Amino acid sequence: MFAAEPTLTAADVAHISSPVLVVSGDDDLVSLSHTVALYEALPEGQLAVVPGASHALPLEQPDAVNALILKFLGTAGPPQTMFPIRRARPANA
């Protein structure tokens, strides 16, 4: 992985229908564009990019990671945002 981007593709994760939390540092080894592509391919995905963190995010900022995971696991259903774009309901729903 150090020599090239991960080989996991958006198509590889697109069939996952369970909620998924994608967590990355803003100075991560994995490119932000690749991380965002994976997140966007997940129908029930959520994305957290933690500032001031690298691929060692859980070691660098364990409190932030724990808080993100606990909130994700403790929330029933998709997140409710004030101005949904990605999670907006289709007009015919």
Each residue's pLDDT tens digit, 25-74: 999 988 899 899 999 999 899 999 999 999 999 999 999 999 999 999 99
Give me the residues paired with residue 47 across strands: 22
Q: How far is CA 6 from CA 2, 11, 16, 38, 87, in A?
A: 9, 13, 18, 11, 27
Residues 6+ apart with CB under 8 A from 3: none
pLDDT for residue 2 is more than 80: no
What are the CA-CA distances from residue 60 to residues 29, 38, 49, 53 (Å)?
14, 23, 14, 7
Q: Examine the pLDDT at 90 and tell me if it is beyond 90.
A: no
Count CB atoms within 10 A of the CB of residue 93.
5
